Structure 1
Amino acid sequence: MPSLSTLVDNFNSGTVGPNWGDSYGGVSIVAGRARVPLVAGAYAGFQTGRAWTLAGAAIYLKLASRPAASTGTDVSQNFMVTSPTAGTGIGFKYNAVTSKLRMQSNVDYYDATAVEITYSATDHLWLRLREDGTNIYWDTSPNGSTWTNRRTLATPAWVTEAIDGCALDLFCFRDAGATDFAEFDNVNTLSDGAVVTATGSGTMTTAATSAAKRTATGTGTGALDTMATAAASAVYHATGSGSLDTDATATAGGSDHNDIDFTLGRPHSGWVVSAPWT
């Protein structure tokens, strides 16, 4: 019984994931967002298979971008949990023509008692549906953390009857106007952290190599408010090879002293001189 509370996707993988196996209409992942095209006369959406339940669950997401009305009279962006019965579902509908956000519990594709509010791209950026065994709640948030309830309704019977038979459908439609798109993001997560991959060499059982480099360090003397002087010394880092379970070997990094200056001060009491200055 997969709860919709466990459906998590920030769309940073770059591809439409396996949870969205019933997607349609040419959807894509662009810049870490779920992008749905709005082409006149066509529906498109990210949709899961019918294997989920809303009973006792909560699911939230972000309307990352919204469509323009253009010349359309019916242009919408929808966040719906649908039952196995066509036209029956619970969710939000953003109307780009009227700039209204509709909280609806549809039967035969309509809810005569739906609640509508004027949409705010700030206050209603995040949307959440939740069910607690008694009621369905429609909530909005500016940040995905602080929520305001916008509608409460006694849980319809189909929510508990359709265990493992619901789908999440994030879909859009326009009846006319210029083609554009809308985007969803951050399904059940506030994290936008990217996954970064890179190439490398070496394995747990093979040797790793490194390029030699040379640095110079020195000992210094000086008072707090005077310039310090330093006697230089050279440190060589050799090229090495080896593995996790063998002894490493190293080849010396070189003996070129042409670019190193040695400054020798006048000997005084307490000096110890060793090779090669014996």
Structure 2
Amino acid sequence: MPLIGALIDNFNDNITGPDWGNAYGGVTETGGRARVPCTTGYAGYQTGYAYTLASSSVYLQIPIVPALSTATTEAIACMMILSGTAGTRLGFVINAVGGLLRCKSEVGYYDPASVDITYNGTTHKWLRITETAGNILWDTSPDGTTWTNRRTLATPAWVASAVDTLALDLFCHRDAGTSDFAEYDNVNTLSNGAVYTGTAAATAESAATATGIYVAVGSAAAVAESDAAATSRVVATATASALGEVDANAVAAGADLSDVDVHVGAPRSGWAVSTPWK
């Protein structure tokens, strides 16, 4: 299986895909994001234990985090890399209680040296964990491009030795208060890949690279149509007297009459006619 940097998902298909085979707690993909309930239980988008962090990196966006409500210890949204040993893990914890972003490397679910900073939903919207040159880096970004390091720690032995046995868990929990959710997005990608469908009102049909075709009928009122790669032209239907004179009222003002043909029909009863019908 691949490095954890090869895990890519922008959640735009609104389907919990096979990469998240260990998802739990009623998670969904909604509106192009992974939505994780934050309740007094636990819920999370979790991959299988199939990845390697050594010499790799994982980043993502957390645009929505749980509200405090009446929680007293935890109302959390987490991004954690799990080892095969319960409670041995590292990553980020956003906790509405205290308004903290915590950079953690835990053994037995505990890190006495956790680096905690005041959480800012704009500055810390993007989170990244990297293993490089024998160190783990915790970085944050407002836009997924410009990163600020928040903690650096010598790589724990379990990270170096765990090949194809780590999982990524995006989970939430609260100890009390109104149930809500966090949303996660753009795992290892800056491309949201969205498709937008719009509507438009028009008074004419249209096609690519079209120019107008004007048709003047009788009173010279024009109706605009268009078709692909068409060039502008005027078609005039004119009325004529028996002497074959063009009725000026039938032609649009300013129209080019150089290619207008006047067709004179047979006389009707009651007409005064002369040559050639006389």
Taking structure 2 as the reference length, the TM-score comes to: 0.73
Counterpart for residue 45 of structure 1: 44
Partner Cα separation in structure 1 for residue 61 and residue 138 of structure 2:
14
CA–CA distance in 2 between the matches of 1:53 and 1:135? 15
Q: Does the 8 A contact of 2:3 with 2:53 survive in 1?
A: yes
Asked whether the equivalents of residues 71 and 178 of structure 1 are also in contact (C-alpha less than 8 Å), the reply is yes
2:70 maps to amino acid: T
The answer as to 2:168 corresponding to 1:168 is yes
Instruction: Measure, in 1, the Cα distance between the counterparts of 2:81 and 2:225.
Output: 66
CA 1:127–1:261 in 2, change beyond 3 Å: closer, same or farther? same
Deviations 1:139-160 (A, max 9, x none): 0001110000000011111112
1:81 partnered with 2:81: yes
Find the counterpart in structure 1 of residue 238 from structure 2: 262
Q: Residues 20 and 196 of structure 1: is their aligned pair in 2 closer, same or farther, counting only changes over 3 Å?
A: farther
Find the structure with the greater CA-based Rg: 2
Aligned residues: 225
* SS of 1:10 mapped into structure 2: coil
Deviation at 1:179, TM superposition (A): 1.0
1:272 and 1:4, CA in 2 relative to 1: closer, same or farther beyond 3 A? closer
Q: What's the counterpart of residue 66 of structure 2?
A: 67
1:104 CA drift (Å)? 0.6
1:98–1:235 distance in 2 versus 1, CA, 3 Å: closer
1:217 and 2:219 correspond: no
What is aligned with 2:201?
Answer: none
Structure 1: which amino acid aligns with 2:59? Y
**Residues 54 and 262 from structure 1, CA distance in 2 versus in 1: closer, same or farther, beyond 3 angstroms?**
farther
Q: Percent identical across equivalent pairs?
A: 54
- One-letter amino acid of the structure 2 residue matched with residue 89 of structure 1: R
User: CA separation in 2, counterparts of 1:47 and 1:178?
Assistant: 24
Note the alpha carbon deviations across 1:35-77, whole angstroms, 9 max, x for none.
Answer: 111122x010000000011111111111110111111122111
* Aligned pairs for 1:1-278 within 5 A: 1-40=1-40, 42-73=41-72, 74-195=74-195, 216-217=213-214, 261-262=237-238
Instruction: Answer whether contact 1:12 1:195 (CA < 8 A) is retained.
Output: no
The code of the aligned residue for 1:217 comes to: Y
Equivalent residue letter for 1:21: G
Q: Does the Cα contact within 8 Å between 2:135 and 2:152 map onto a contact in 1?
A: yes
Q: Partners in 2 of 1:273 and 1:193 — Cα distance?
A: 53
In structure 1, list runs of 5 or more residues that go unmatched.
198-214, 220-229, 238-258
Superposition deviation, residue 274 in structure 1: 7.1
1:133-178 Cα deviation digits (max 9, x unpaired): 4111000001110000000011111112110000000001111111
The CA distance in 1 between the partners of 2:24 and 2:105, in whole Å, is 23
TM-score calculated relative to the size of structure 1: 0.73
Higher strand share: 1
Unaligned runs of 5+ in 2: 198-211, 228-234, 240-245, 249-257, 265-278
Cα drift, residue 276 of structure 1: 6.2
Distance 2:5 2:95 in 1: 26
Does the 8 Å contact 1:55/1:133 carry over to 2?
Answer: no
